[in-house]
Amino acid sequence: MENIRHYKPFQTGQYGIFLAFMIVCVVLSILTPGFLSGSNLLIIGTQVSINALLAFGVTFVIISGGIDLSLGSMVAVAGVASAMFAHPDTYPLVVPLGMGLLAGLAIGLLNGWVITKTKVAPFIVTLGTMTIGRGLALILSKGRPVSNLSDSFNFIGGGTVWGIPFPILTLIITFLICHFILNKTILGRYIYAVGGNEEAAHASGIDVGKVKLKVYALCGLLCALGGILLTSRVTTGQPNAGAGFELDAIAAAIIGGTSTSGGTGTMVGTLMGAMLIGVIGNGLDLLNVTSYYQLVVMGTIIIGAVVLDGLGKKNR
């Protein structure tokens, strides 16, 4: 067990994404003078926060060699579950928060359990739970938005602390925790090992099934946190919330250098990937570029990131 190598992230990708981020910021600041204003930067941070939380979760999964397509559905289920218990003068704030997190954790554990016990491809399993989760959100909400939420709950997505939006503070704290787990704990070392070579990890004494279960559970919790933030921000629990969020989250992780074949990735890179997506989207909005063209731009960036990932693997 002691001989298991601590898998190191591929640092070169981080420098590349940081350079790309800086270039995009410089170009947008020239094209749109208000881009670097304090208010706009806070808007970008708030917009990025939810996608980044989901991206942190799926980064754990992808590094371990898996994939999760149920991210958006977990956002919806957690948002509706928390909203159902967030009416004024009904329950203390800890109850809706706990219910939302439990909902995401339950789906994450279901993903991990089915994948480890049946050996069915994660793509297929999470495709199924994506549909199940969306159905559960509609059942719980009876197909209607859950509204009339308490002020304390709405503060989570719309309040500020020392002038900083609470979602940004949540993002910072969550990033630090995820970075610590991935780089400073035994679990993080095992995640890299399982994604790098599952058979070798098993031969070294690692309980691969338990690692995968924990990885998908972590992903479920982070998606639930994103769902709670989104519900609080829009002040309603929407059963259709989170549709397509999994694509943005996976894109942020891949753009940030997380390898689709597993074993490589960092939370720093994922954060930069999410920031790059957010900055480009915000800049295109300021430039009055229609959403149709924005989709083309984002798709091109994703393909480019995957191509670069393939070239990087060949070089390594």
Q: What is the share, in percent, of the chain residues with pLDDT greater than 70?
A: 92
Give the torsion through C-alpha atoms of 142, 243, 70, 104, to 10 deg: -60
Instruction: Of 85-89, 115-119, 122-126, 188-192, give the lowest mean pLDDT range.
Output: 85-89
| Contact (Cβ atoms closer than 8 angstroms) between residue 175 and residue 52 | yes
Give CA–CA dist 222/58, Å, rounded.
9
Higher pLDDT, 81 or 17: 81
CATH match for 11-28+35-306 among 1.10.10, 1.10.8, 1.20.1300, 1.10.3470: 1.10.3470
CA gap 250, 26 in Å, rounded: 25
pLDDT higher than 50, residue 5: no
Give the separation between CA 216 and CA 109, rounded to whole angstroms. 6
Q: How confident is the model at residue 312 (pLDDT cuts 50, 70, 90)?
A: low
Task: In whole angstroms, give the CA distance from residue 248 to residue 269.
Answer: 15
Query: Across all residues in the chain, what is the average pLDDT?
Result: 88
User: Taking the CB of residue 62, how many other CB atoms lie within 10 A of it?
Assistant: 28
Tell me the angle at which helices 208-234 and 186-196 cross, rounded to the nearest 10 degrees. Answer: 110
- Give residue 134's pLDDT band: very low, low, confident or very high (50, 70, 90): very high
| Dihedral sign, Cα of residue 275, residue 277, residue 282, residue 286 | positive
Q: At what angle do helices 186-196 and 38-63 cross, to 10 degrees?
A: 60
pLDDT of residue 308: 67
12-65 tens-digit pLDDT:
455 677 888 888 888 888 888 888 888 889 999 999 999 999 999 999 999 999
AA identity, residue 81: A
CA 9 to each of CA 178, 180, 219, 226: distance values in angstroms, whole numbers, following the listed order: 14, 14, 19, 25
